[in-house]
Amino acid sequence: MENRVGSFSTLSCGTKGQNLSLLLLSPIYLFIKEEPVISARLLTILLLFSPLVCAANKAMVSVEVIPLAHGVSPGESFEIAVIFSMEPDWHTYWQNPGEAGMPTSFEWNLPENFQLTGQREPTPTRHVDQEITTFIHEEEAIYLFDIQAPDEVADSNHFTVEINWLECKDLCQPGSSGHQFVLLASETPVPDKAEWTTLIERAESRFPRSVQEIKGRLVHKGDHIELALKRSSWAQKLLSADFFPFDEMIYDSGKSIQVKRGLFRDNIIIPLQIDLKITPEVLHGVLVQINASPTGPTTTHSIIHQQLP
């Protein structure tokens, strides 16, 4: 349980019947109040490397690596699924973790001339705790990695990956795991994914879809970016929206995304950092929209990459 003491916080952890309290500077007051994002990040680093950090009795996140192929065909591509399963109320972090936390990292060691050509990650959830906003994964997160085989492959191909993450609930602890597998050369030109259909569908349901350009007007207005989307009908009006930027230190992750509805357009207000020293040139991130429909609310997750005028 976490108890606030003025501008400090104490983390109480049971250790063989005793309470070990770790005194932490609150991210609101750590170093300078004007830089809450940097302060929270520094707090995370201090937590990870402090000898007093209190960890759970066991790992709260398990990881499974599954190649979605039984063999490797020359010149063909295949996918590898990495599945994170979290204990209730525990979470890991998205590639841009927000105002605190650490992104999950993957260090692949591939056979000679094999290439990693793509990585897909689920859309995160916005999480607010003690005025600190982070972008997280809960319950389950499935990543898919695209691997391209060379024109010539060995009879036996050895793959390894080292994975590091931060798992958090009321406290945080670093997690890591190493995985390896072997795929033999195969005569089959296309991997048969039938046995992994359920897994792939589960993953695809959380992936944002790629969109080259959104159909709307994008304007930089001082402390925010405004995205105006044309509405086809009032019955399909935008109910709510969220935005998860790929770029850090540009958008104000701590402020909620606002929606303003007009007669013919829905306007999404994306706040920027205070005293931003640079002018954003591109809106790049994952846009989540919940729209009304005759059958009930519908949710879309889209990757947007659009130049600002």
- Structural domains in the chain, sorted by start: 2-49 (no CATH), 61-204 (2.60.40.1250), 209-307 (2.60.40)
Q: Is pLDDT at 28 greater than 70 in this prediction?
A: no
Q: Which residues pair with 108 in a beta bridge?
A: 161
Contact 101, 251 (CB under 8 A): no
Residues in the chain: 309
So what's the pLDDT on residue 237? 86
Per residue in 71-106, pLDDT (tens digit) is: 999 999 999 999 999 999 999 999 999 999 999 999
So what's the pLDDT on residue 127? 95
What is the spatial distance between Cα 307 and Cα 225, in angstroms, rounded to a whole number?
A: 12
Contact 106, 82 (CB under 8 A): yes
What is the spatial distance between Cα 162 and Cα 106, in angstroms, rounded to a whole number?
A: 6
Contact 7, 25 (CB under 8 A): yes
What is the spatial distance between Cα 209 and Cα 123, in angstroms, rounded to a whole number?
A: 10
What is the spatial distance between Cα 255 and Cα 131, in angstroms, rounded to a whole number?
A: 10
Phi, psi (deg, nearest 5) at residue 70:
-95, -15
Q: Is residue 117 exposed (0-12), middle (13-18) or buried (19+ Cβ within 10 Å)?
A: exposed
Backbone φ/ψ region at 48: left (φ over 0), alpha (ψ -120 to 50), beta: alpha
More confident residue, 182 or 33: 182
Residue found under tokens 């605190």? 100
Per residue in 250-270, pLDDT (tens digit) is: 899 889 999 998 888 899 999
What is the spatial distance between Cα 150 and Cα 114, in angstroms, rounded to a whole number?
A: 6
Q: Is pLDDT at 108 greater than 70 in this prediction?
A: yes
- Residue 145's Cβ-side half-sphere holds a number of Cα atoms within 13 Å equal to 19
